[in-house]
Amino acid sequence: MHLHDLWFILIAVLWIGYFFLEGFDFGIGVLTRTLARNTTERRVLINTIGPVWDGNEVWLLTAGGATFAAFPDWYATLFSGFYIPLLAILVCLIVRGVAFEYRAKRDDERWQRNWETAIFWTSLLPAFLWGVAFANIVHGVDIDQDKNYVGTFWDLLNPYAILGGLTTLALFTFHGALFAALKTVGDIRERARAQALVLGAVTAVLALVFLIWTQAHGGNGWSLAATVVAVLALLGALAANQLAREGWAFVLSGLTVVAAVAMLFLALFPDVMPSTLNPDWSLTVTNAASSAYTLKVMSIVAAVFTPIVLLYQGWTYWVFRKRIGVQHIPSAH
């Protein structure tokens, strides 16, 4: 296996990890409006991800940095062509982080309500825009012979991309509902399971259409296998949720995220950004990659530090593994 192929796989793994972890983060943010009935319940939901949300975003930083170092042409074309949606995601993530930290700085009801509204919208928009972005990457965009994106922002909002955005939004919210059921106690836990049933049904319809469309457009045997795994895992998550097996339901919804994102990368390979103007102008793992020496140094660094990061993040989840409920929220809040 060539190093550029290895780094395509590693970058895919980083994005899979990001969407698995940040997916339920975004879902919890959306549920602060659709599941929580009052400020105390919103505080419960926010506290379920309070110790881990910032660590989850490390996967995004690592994925972006790895793309920049391993495939600089891919990074340049992607971030220049998708400038507006990626900037919108970045602004949302900044405001979202501030909202988590500043919400409890004052006891004023209006102050807290405004930050809670910010958490909702800055969770919903990235969950949708990531789907739009990756749908365009897989489907292909207008790239010329100089590896420059020559389309417009509105070209990115095509029906396939919008379907991709709706799919990720529904999937992440479903993933978040199962995480809420896993991490809470009392009435909010029961309502999270009930809402997960509805969200799962919506996700199943959207995901099935989106994955079949992707497979028909440029899929292969491997992507078909990933599609089957994603569908079966989603159905298994719904069944486990009905049986009140929250742990298994969350694991299976996570497997759905993993298989669905893996399917996109499997359908994309060996391209990294296909050109709809001329297939010969597409960016591939070969013509967009850094030098062999750069990839070799990156491989050594990744082999040393990746296990350390995984151990630390795993330890964080273990420490904050207990459930919480409204009885754990001080009355002052």
Residue 225 is predicted with a pLDDT of: 95
The pair of structure tokens assigned to 278 is 């001329």
Mean pLDDT of 138-155: 91
**HEC states along the chain?**
CCHHHHHHHHHHHHHHHHHHHHHHHHHHHHHHHHCCCCHHHHHHHHHHHCCCHHHHCHHHHHHHHHHHHHCHHHHHHHHHHCHHHHHHHHHHHHHHHHHHHHHHHCCCHHHHHHHHHHHHHHHHHHHHHHHHHHHHHHHCECECCCCCECCCCHHHCCHHHHHHHHHHHHHHHHHHHHHHHHHECCHHHHHHHHHHHHHHHHHHHHHHHHHHHHHHHHCCHHHHHHHHHHHHHHHHHHHHHHCCCHHHHHHHHHHHHHHHHHHHHHHHCCEEECECCCHHHCEECCCCCCCHHHHHHHHHHHHHHHHHHHHHHHHHHHHCCCCECHHHCCCCC
β-partners of residue 33 are none
List, for residues 9-56, the tens digit of each pLDDT value. Answer: 999 999 999 999 999 999 999 999 999 888 889 999 999 998 888 889
Question: Over pLDDT 70: what percentage of the chain?
Answer: 99
What percent of the chain clears pLDDT 90, i.e. is strictly above it?
A: 77
pLDDT per position as a tens digit, 181-219 = 999 998 999 999 999 999 999 999 999 999 999 999 888
pLDDT of residue 299: 92
82-93 pLDDT, tens digit each: 999 999 999 999
Query: How confident is the model over 215-263, as pLDDT tens digits?
Result: 998 889 999 999 999 999 999 999 999 999 999 999 999 999 999 999 9
pTM: 0.93
